Amino acid sequence: MLSRVAESLFWMSRYFERAENTARFLDVNFNLLLDLNKITHVENPSYWVALILVTSDKDRFNTLYDEYSARTVTDYLVFNKSNPNSITSCIGLARENARSIIESISSEMWEQVNNLYHYLQNVTPQFVQNDPYGFYKEIKNASHLFQGITDNTFSHNEGWDFIQIAKYLERTDNIARLIDVKYHMLLSEAQSQPELVAGSEDIIQWMAVLKSCSALEAFRKVYLSKIDPDNILRFLILDRTFPRSINFSVCAAEDALWRISGSSRHRYVNNADRLIGKLEAELSYTAIEDIFATGLHNYLADLEQRLMKVGEQVHLTYFAYHTPEIESTDIEEALPFTGIAGGRANWSQAQQHQQQQ
Amino acid sequence: MIRFFERYEAETAQFFDEVISKEGAPRPHYDKMLHRFGQFSVDDIKARREIVNIFFRNQGITFTVYGEDEGVERLFPFDLIPRVVPSHEWQIIEKGLIQRITALNAFLNDIYHGQKILKDKIIPAELILGSQHFRREFIGVNPPLGIYIHVTGSDIIRDGQGNYMVLEDNLRTPSGVSYMLQNRQAMKRAFPVLFDKYKIRPIENYPQELLRTLQEISPASRRDPNVVLLTPGIYNSAYFEHSFLARQMGIELTEGKDLVVNNNKVYTRTTRGLEQVDVIYRRVDDAYLDPLVFRPDSKLGVAGLVNAYRKGNVTLANAIGCGVADDKVIYSFVPKIIKYYLGEDPILENVPTWLASNPADLKYILANLDSLVVKAANESGGYGMLIGPESTVEQQENFAEMIVANPRNYIAQPTISLSRHPSFFNDTELFGCHIDLRPYVLYGKTVTIVPGGLTRVALKRGSLVVNSSQGGGSKDTWVVDE
């Protein structure tokens, strides 16, 4: 498979997953605020700032808006085109990547990403405000449909594995961020308002975290009604069977990487395999107490770093097809790890406009 | 009965109308179609228009107009009424094109080898040697089977009497064949009922024929030659077509950065290392192919590609340097070229052409700018054109200056009233729109033409320019057995 094609599959999948996760955060936040309506005001900025923290975009957000509110945060995360992580941007980028490899994916996959793109072009802020639940559901379903179409219309060979790697790396990263931010918020509240943390609001907040991972029902089946933070963290980080837990996602990414390279347990052939194998092995032998001993925030920050390293190694092993001798160095620097989102797509744009007969 | 055609004004005194004869009656091969369209209501047509629009949008069949805001993707305008070409007319086109393309290939082979035609003074040598598409570097290079122009798309028009004439030969990277194929698909979805009334010759085998042609010109004796398509990239206006053809043929779609040359062999970069390439169907202009030989700033090409080609390790389709034969000046010599190499009279006529490089012609051109069509010799896509009767005095003066400054670069032709075909402007009314026809000719071991082509429609009322970059659209084209 062409390296460029593999890379575009990777980014197409990654951006689609990112859009879905953003829709999940926003959806759950709305629901949460409705639940909390009696205790706190819907426009309470502290519930909206968290969403910006999850996406590590505080600085960019502040240059664009004056306040954290339902309106500004929704606009930023759903519509804003200067935010590369907004749902509209992500689906636009997923489509650009798909478009550049349209002959390699199935036409059903293309139609799905293209449909969603056109759907988003017609959505207005008013529409989302009137029916947030319906809108986010549409995005989530579109993503599920895309994955189902991919599984059923696209050969399960190397290209499919790159799609899986991207999906699960992105998902792991998102779960880690979500937990980190939620925990951080609760901790700071515990210091200012200790009576709330022990109460029902705390439980509702943690249920919201589970819901945003579609994990509430699965969690209940394992832990019955014992909704306490330790169990929730144990489930979201260490459960091996739930598809939106960190451990499951890392295993799935590892499987896909090993299928591509032909690696097996105890024998790796490249650094991407080695790093993901190490991560998976550690997760398998970690107890929630170990995580608390490290400190949850430190643990998650370290995890995010390591996921990034895995991504870099995937890039170097399979996608880095540039030849420095014919491309100037400043372009080379702008290239790594961006997919079509980065500078690469545009630098030859003018020349591509050559006349056609 | 014929509701939509009741108010249709064919204006047959001024134009050749494809559907309505001079006597005002429908031509026989359109009888059944008019009858069918007569049964449709405005709502029927609107519903079918919607089916077609969804089909094109879902397929991503859009094109980009340069010079407008980025990201402006438009649906390629499609007219719902198909054009019907009866098989006895098609036979003339087919024979004429095979003759013409065979002669032009012989001409290219001669120009890049003995140059006999220049020595015999059939064509002034300075016109060839001074052409910007003449590639001195390729004299003596032998492409497999001696073929230079593997894929061509000649533009054919009809004059006031309905005679088919060639307006232009596109021998470099002709585009539009994907629209020909998709237009047929769209019609099948929207109007299945029309199809059972006609014996329409199929065109769906074009991608297989193209692949066969490309495999036949492989340089290696390798049993399964590795064929790739080289595209400028996703921002090219014909990108959809490049990806569509690659998918239909099951070959890799590559950009310049996917290819690398080592030891005069071309390879693709894959997740498993390098794989050798035998044939490149390139949709990149000569000038961008190889930064070491042509434009050094090219980001679209492959360094070393030209040497690999000269060594015979890879075949390019079409060959480098074909532009010398589809130049609008050389166009005027094609009847002589056919006579010289084949000893035959041309089956398809040329449009009369005056060369500004010829002093007598130049005088005539400058005196008649308000009635002639003036074209730059090396432009395509409807750019660099002056349509006399539609131009302002200022535009004419501008062109006069440019022509005098560089006569070799300009030709002029009479303003031909292209034939007209009824087309929907909105979905309620029909107007006569000017059309042309671009059949696609494949040249491997044999010359093959799939029956049909892309009929382009000038959808601006009264406009004569059919290029998609200038607001033109297209319609399905049926070659029918009677």
For residue A156, pLDDT over 50 is answered with: yes
Q: What is the mean pLDDT of chain A?
A: 83
Q: Is A103 in Cβ contact with B246 (below 8 Å)?
A: yes
What is the spatial distance between Cα A308 and Cα A303, in angstroms, rounded to a whole number? 9
Same domain, A23 and A119: yes
Q: Give the mean model confidence (pLDDT) for residues A287-292.
A: 93
For residue B75, pLDDT over 80 is answered with: no
Q: What Å distances lie between residue A9 and A32, A112, A192, A313, A340, CA to CA?
A: 35, 15, 47, 16, 11
Interface with chain A: mutation pick from B258, B271, B468, highest number of A CBs within 10 Å: B271
Q: At A57, is the pLDDT very low, low, confident or very high (cuts 50, 70, 90)?
A: confident
Q: At B144, is the pLDDT very low, low, confident or very high (cuts 50, 70, 90)?
A: very high
Q: At A290, is the pLDDT very low, low, confident or very high (cuts 50, 70, 90)?
A: very high
Percent of chain B with pLDDT over 90: 62
* Residue among B173, B247, B253 minimizing CB distance to A356: B173
pLDDT score of B436: 94
> Within its chain, how far is the Cα of A150 from the centroid?
18
Give the dihedral sign, CA B105/B337/B409/B368: negative
Asked if residue A238 lies in contact with residue A288, where contact means CB atoms within 8 angstroms, the answer is yes
Interface with chain A: mutation pick from B234, B293, B297, B470, highest number of A CBs within 10 Å: B234
Q: At B383, is the pLDDT very low, low, confident or very high (cuts 50, 70, 90)?
A: low
- A72-76, A243-247, B66-70, B127-131: the lowest-pLDDT one: B66-70
Q: Is A100 in Cβ contact with B298 (below 8 Å)?
A: no
Q: Is B380 in Cβ contact with A356 (below 8 Å)?
A: yes
Percent of chain B with pLDDT over 70: 92
pLDDT score of B224: 87
Q: Give the mean model confidence (pLDDT) for residues A251-271.
A: 88
For residue B26, pLDDT over 70 is answered with: yes
Same domain, A139 and A271: no
Q: At A324, is the pLDDT very low, low, confident or very high (cuts 50, 70, 90)?
A: very low
pLDDT score of B471: 64
Count residue pairs from A and B with Cβ separation < 8 A: 112
Same domain, A135 and A252: no
Asked if the structure places residue A87 within a domain, the reply is yes
What is the spatial distance between Cα B400 and Cα A357, in angstroms, rounded to a whole number? 25
Instruction: Give the β-pairing of B385-387 and B252-254.
Output: unpaired
pLDDT score of A193: 60
- A30-44, B84-98, B355-369: the lowest-pLDDT one: A30-44
For residue B68, pLDDT over 80 is answered with: no
pLDDT score of B101: 97
Q: Convert the pLDDT of each residue in B209-219 to its tens digit.
A: 999 999 999 98
pLDDT score of A340: 42
Structure-block tokens of residue B413 = 């032709």
Asked if the structure places residue A70 within a domain, the reply is yes
- Measured between CA atoms, the residue of chain A closest to residue B257 is A322
Q: Convert the pLDDT of each residue in A93-106 to its tens digit.
A: 999 999 889 889 99
Give the dihedral sign, CA B21/B24/B25/B30: positive
Asked if the structure places residue A214 within a domain, the reply is yes
- How many domains are there within chain A? 2
Phi-psi map region of B114: left, alpha, beta (phi>0 left; psi -120 to 50 alpha): alpha
What is the spatial distance between Cα A96 and Cα A12, in angstroms, rounded to a whole number? 8
Q: Who has greater pLDDT, B34 or A336?
A: B34
What is the spatial distance between Cα B429 and Cα B472, in angstroms, rounded to a whole number? 18
Supply the Cα-derived Rg of chain A in whole angstroms. 21
Same domain, A94 and A188: no
pLDDT score of A222: 87
For residue B393, pLDDT over 80 is answered with: yes
> Which residues of chain B make contact with A323, given a CB cutoff of 8 A?
260
For residue A322, pLDDT over 90 is answered with: no
Q: Is A158 in Cβ contact with B271 (below 8 Å)?
A: yes
Asked if residue A250 lies in contact with residue A281, where contact means CB atoms within 8 angstroms, the answer is no
Extents of the domains making up chain B: 3-219+314-350+416-481, 354-414
Q: At B283, is the pLDDT very low, low, confident or very high (cuts 50, 70, 90)?
A: very high
Q: Give the mean model confidence (pLDDT) for residues B266-277.
A: 90
pLDDT score of B156: 96
- Write out the E strands in A32-132: none
Instruction: Answer whether B271 touches A (CB < 8 Å).
Output: yes
pLDDT score of A330: 40
Asked if the structure places residue A325 within a domain, the reply is no
pLDDT score of B450: 96
Q: At B63, is the pLDDT very low, low, confident or very high (cuts 50, 70, 90)?
A: low
What is the spatial distance between Cα A212 and Cα B273, in angstroms, rounded to a whole number? 41
User: Which H or E run includes B447?
Assistant: strand B447-449
Q: Give the mean model confidence (pLDDT) for residues A198-213.
A: 77
Q: Is B235 in Cβ contact with A355 (below 8 Å)?
A: no
- Give the ipTM: 0.71
Interface with chain A: mutation pick from B57, B257, B322, highest number of A CBs within 10 Å: B257
Q: Is A345 in Cβ contact with B236 (below 8 Å)?
A: no
For residue A189, pLDDT over 70 is answered with: no
Percent of chain A with pLDDT over 70: 82
Asked if residue B199 lies in contact with residue B478, where contact means CB atoms within 8 angstroms, the answer is no
For residue A47, pLDDT over 50 is answered with: yes
pLDDT score of B64: 59
Full residue range of the structural domain in which residue A215 is found: 171-319
Phi-psi map region of A143: left, alpha, beta (phi>0 left; psi -120 to 50 alpha): alpha
Burial B228-264, CB ≥16 within 10 A → b, else e: bbbbbbbbbbbbbbbbbbbbbbebbbbbbbbbbbeee
Q: Convert the pLDDT of each residue in B152-191 to its tens digit.
A: 999 999 988 899 999 999 999 999 999 999 999 999 999 9
Q: At A325, is the pLDDT very low, low, confident or very high (cuts 50, 70, 90)?
A: very low
* Residue among A5, A110, A260 minimizing CB distance to B60: A110
Same domain, A75 and A139: yes
Asked if the structure places residue A183 within a domain, the reply is yes
Same domain, A217 and A74: no
- B23-27, B177-181, B218-222: the lowest-pLDDT one: B218-222
Same domain, A148 and A243: no
Q: Is A349 in Cβ contact with B257 (below 8 Å)?
A: no
Q: Is B291 in Cβ contact with A2 (below 8 Å)?
A: no
Give which of B299, B249, B254 is closest to B274, Cα–Cα: B254
Edge-to-edge strand order for the sheet containing B273-276? B259-262, B265-270, B273-276
Q: Convert the pLDDT of each residue in B227-262 to its tens digit.
A: 999 999 888 888 889 999 998 999 999 999 899 999
For residue A211, pLDDT over 80 is answered with: yes
pLDDT score of A71: 87
Q: Give the mean model confidence (pLDDT) for residues B120-128.
A: 92
Q: At A136, is the pLDDT very low, low, confident or very high (cuts 50, 70, 90)?
A: very high
Instruction: Specify the CATH architecture of the domain B354-414.
Output: 2-Layer Sandwich (3.30)
Asked if the structure places residue A339 within a domain, the reply is no
A246-261 vs A271-284: helix crossing angle, rounded to 10? 150
pLDDT score of B66: 55
